[in-house]
Structure 1
Amino acid sequence: MNRLGTHQQATLSRGWVVLLALLAFALALGYGFYVLWHNAPSLPLRPPTRTEAPPVRGSLEAADGTPLALSTPHDTRLYPLGPSAAQLIGFGERSSGKGLSGLELDLEKLLSLGQSLRLTIDPQVQAIAEQALWHGLEVAKADWGTVVVMESKTGRLLAVANGPAFDPTAPRGNLQQDVSWRNHAFAYALEPGSTIKPLTAAVLLEENVARLETKVYAPMSRRIAGWTINDVVKHPETLTLSEVLKYSSNVGITTLAERIPRETLFNYFKKLHFMDEAPMPPLSYQPQIGVRVAAPQVRPLHRWGPAEYANASFGQGFLITPLHLAAAYNTLANDGVYRQPILFEGNTSQSAVVFRPQVAREIRKALTDGAAENAKLPGYVLGGKTGTAQVVVDGRYSSSVYAALFAGFIPSNTPRVTVVVTLFHPKGSRIHGSQVAAPIYRAIAARLFALWGVPPQPQLEPSAKKGKLVQR
């Protein structure tokens, strides 16, 4: 019994030893974890990795908030107005949406960060300009055309229309052959032709070397420095400056332009920003970001010989974009004050005086009195200047490729907008600005007057039978 009791007591003692050892091990392990935890703040801890979703591409809106381009969260780029303003807005890559043309390209840095922008474009004015242009292109069978509508007092671009129509969501063809995607108003510089004559006339009035009543000997042709300058429209040999504009006489304007030094006209071209590669201001809050415009090509003054000067006075021998021409003509609309064209809401248009107000008004009146028949609209005061410019092909002026232009004001006595119409390579028997560009201007004017709610005014004309004034 004594041996059994002793054995049981020894077994019990060993159990307690094991239990105490396990307890000590657990305490030591716990203490170790405590030390590690206590010192853990000094060790860098990595938060769980999260993938940030890229921002949705920024949208482009018209002046009234109408969406012109926007993206879904799944990177689908939408153009709610379809072909309207498509060349101005541009397009991007199918997969990434990265801008490839137009504003989608020029504003890529901002749009890719989710920044949205509002333009000065008025959707109704844009539609009016496009409808008139697209119809006019079909009639003229021209390769392409463009219309710029600029608000006279502010410089805001209300419409930048291009044609033929382009659907930014449709499958794209060869971009080198099909240029319907291009914003011709900004991207193509061409000779402005006779649309420059009113600006040359304004310089003559501003420099006090001529008046609208000033007479000039203007035969149908003249020789200058071995070159022959011809007129197209038959006219009397003696013309007033006002008639020089009406008959679009190259001979008349070059003869009168000899009354001023070459550098005088050249400096006015500078004041009208004909040498400006960036006629529009950049974004007010992002001055490093702007809209691409084709660089003008104007010879430096030291290369203006007698023939080059004569050509420049009637719009030949230099290249500017339709946007440059619209801004220059708007100086006449704005009583002699040049305003920068602006495309983004919030931007400020810088201004500078170029002509006296009376000079601008006199030129507008001359362009109203001598307006082409196809530019007139019964009951309204309209006016402007036609242009038909030869196009250089393979280094020589082509005898078959022309650009037809019309630049004018709506209305021309108290302008609300300045309009420039350009058609490239009209075909058939009707290729002149008075034949194919002026009707587009008239159609735009008619629809704008309807939009503005301006009714036609009664007109007075001599009665054929009684010699009295009658209304019609």
Structure 2
Amino acid sequence: MELKIRNRSRWMQVIALLMFATLVWAYAQIEWGPPNTITPRQEVVRGSILAADGTVLARTLGKQRVYPQGNLAGQVIGMLGDSGGLEGIERTYDDTLKAGQNVQLTLDPAAQAMAEAALARGVQKHRAQYGALVMLETRSGRVLAAATYPPFDPGNWRGKPDTQERVKNRAFLDAYEPGSTMKALTIAAAINDGLTTPGTVYSTPMQRHVGGRWGHNIGDAVAHPPTLTTQQVLRYSSNVGMSHIVEGFSYPKLRGYLAAYGFGQKVDMPGAVTAQGILKPIEKWNDLERATNSFGQGVSGTTLQVAAAYNAIANDGVYVAPRLIDGAPAGERREVVGAAAARSVRDMLKSVVVEGKFAAIDGYDLCGKTGTAQVATSSGYSDTVFKSTYAGFFPCDAPRVTLAVMVHGAQGQYQGSEVAAPIFREIASGMLSGWGTAPNVTAQPPK
């Protein structure tokens, strides 16, 4: 009997030890995890690029990068190489996309497609070399469309000799003299400082010498009366008239206005590489420089900068930094001119459109201004190559969209009114139709 009790006691000790060992092993698994376990690595799929409404512009299927919308916004999207992004969003957001995160743009696919189609027709019709445009949402500064022609197909670029030219986002990178589109911006500044009014009258011969002994003659291209009001200076696009209007500005004051409009400043817009353009330092200013800057010569900017500057006039004098990435923090807002000066110029631009006819749409109030600038070369200004431009916004009284258009190297007709204004009108017509905007019976019909 005693032996049985000892044996049973030993078995109970053995069982207790086994249970203790089991508990220790279980605790070790909880604390340190199973030994020698290797978790298989999961490959991260490159993120997608989306438009504002969720339309897929770029995605990865298997090991293939595909672009479902073809060349839509091709220069904005850019291209992908074997090791990563090479241009555009594919490059600037390469790390984000490699981490599998999506990037959503502010682009409106319908507006982008409409803008690209209108730009293509305009460039082809006038046998130009290329063109670019930027469309902004007035209040927010969101880039609704950014188009460059000829187009670029991000899914079919390898082996093509013109890839570097086609992929260049000219809307953000090509800096040029904006020409007469600058006049409305300068007049807004002069009205803001009390230097002129829409009805102020100036002596305007077809030529005027500016700058004293070392100056030059400034001339006008469009015949006009010998005296012009400020409104008519804008209507006839008179350089001579502008030289009078800015005489009351000190050099730093006018240069400060141009800088506030964004010229000579790189646009701080996440997701895009942008050019700065040229605004000469104040040490290089004189009477002639002041005059030529006032009508868009001697200063340069991109189509994006021109659009943003005009957006300040549309936005009651407040500059709103453009945005390309949806959800990105809102950029800088700064007052360039007061609301009264901006609205005064808006009224003037409305009349310019009606009288100019090329951008007018019967029953709708549009605001805009043409520009035609000779292209600067190493040997002076070209007599055969021009930048044809147009900038404006609509509807005039409550602007929703601001648009700037540039066409380079049009053949035959090259005036901004003949080349760029019809592109503006076509896009404005499409946008107004898309919004379901009814005609305004009080709008002035084109004459």
Q: With structure 1 as the length reference, what TM-score do the two structures score? A: 0.83
Matched, 1:457 2:440: yes
Kept in 2, the 8 Å contact 1:403–1:424? The answer is yes
CA RMSD of aligned residues (A): 2.5
In structure 2, the partner of 1:188 is: 174
**SS of aligned partner of 2:399:** coil
Q: Which amino acid aligns with 1:124?
A: A
In structure 2, the partner of 1:257 is: 246
Matched, 1:365 2:347: yes
Q: Distance in 2 between matches of 1:48 and 1:113?
A: 25
Kept in 1, the 8 Å contact 2:363–2:443? The answer is no
Please report how far the alpha carbon of residue 296 of structure 1 lies from its aligned counterpart in structure 2 after TM superposition: 1.8
In structure 1, the partner of 2:391 is: 407
Q: Distance in 2 between matches of 1:84 and 1:199?
A: 32
Q: Distance in 2 between matches of 1:373 and 1:384?
A: 11
In structure 2, the partner of 1:156 is: 142
Q: Distance in 2 between matches of 1:231 and 1:47?
A: 85
Alignment of 1:93-112 (within 5 A): 93=81, 95-96=82-83, 98-112=84-98
Please report how far the alpha carbon of residue 47 of structure 1 lies from its aligned counterpart in structure 2 after TM superposition: 3.6
Please report how far the alpha carbon of residue 175 of structure 1 lies from its aligned counterpart in structure 2 after TM superposition: 5.7
In structure 2, the partner of 1:167 is: 153
Structure 1 unmatched runs, 5+: 1-37, 283-289, 463-471
Cα distance change of structure 1 residues 279 and 217 upon mapping to structure 2, 3 Å threshold: farther
Kept in 1, the 8 Å contact 2:365–2:444? The answer is no
Kept in 1, the 8 Å contact 2:310–2:391? The answer is yes
Report how many residues are paired: 414
Picking from 268, 279, 285, the partner of 1:304 is 285
Kept in 2, the 8 Å contact 1:147–1:422? The answer is yes
**SS of aligned partner of 1:58:** coil
**SS of aligned partner of 1:179:** helix
Matched, 1:387 2:371: yes
Kept in 1, the 8 Å contact 2:364–2:443? The answer is no
Matched, 1:327 2:294: no
Could you say which structure has the larger radius of gyration? 1
Cα distance change of structure 1 residues 461 and 128 upon mapping to structure 2, 3 Å threshold: closer
Q: Which amino acid aligns with 1:90?
A: G
Identity of aligned residues (%): 40
**SS of aligned partner of 2:79:** coil
Q: Distance in 1 between matches of 2:174 and 2:265?
A: 14
In structure 1, the partner of 2:5 is: none
Alignment of 1:265-284 (within 5 A): 265-280=254-269, 282=270
Q: Which amino acid aligns with 1:307?
A: L
Q: Distance in 2 between matches of 1:355 and 1:129?
A: 30
Cα distance change of structure 1 residues 362 and 398 upon mapping to structure 2, 3 Å threshold: same
Q: Which amino acid aligns with 2:318?
A: V
Q: With structure 2 as the length reference, what TM-score do the two structures score? A: 0.87
Q: Which amino acid aligns with 1:386?
A: T
Picking from 233, 245, 248, the partner of 1:244 is 233
Alignment of 1:20-59 (within 5 A): 47=36, 52-59=41-48
Please report how far the alpha carbon of residue 389 of structure 1 lies from its aligned counterpart in structure 2 after TM superposition: 1.1
- 1:103-156 Cα deviation digits (max 9, x unpaired): 111111211221211111111111111111111111111111111110111111
Structure 2 unmatched runs, 5+: 1-24
Matched, 1:217 2:203: yes
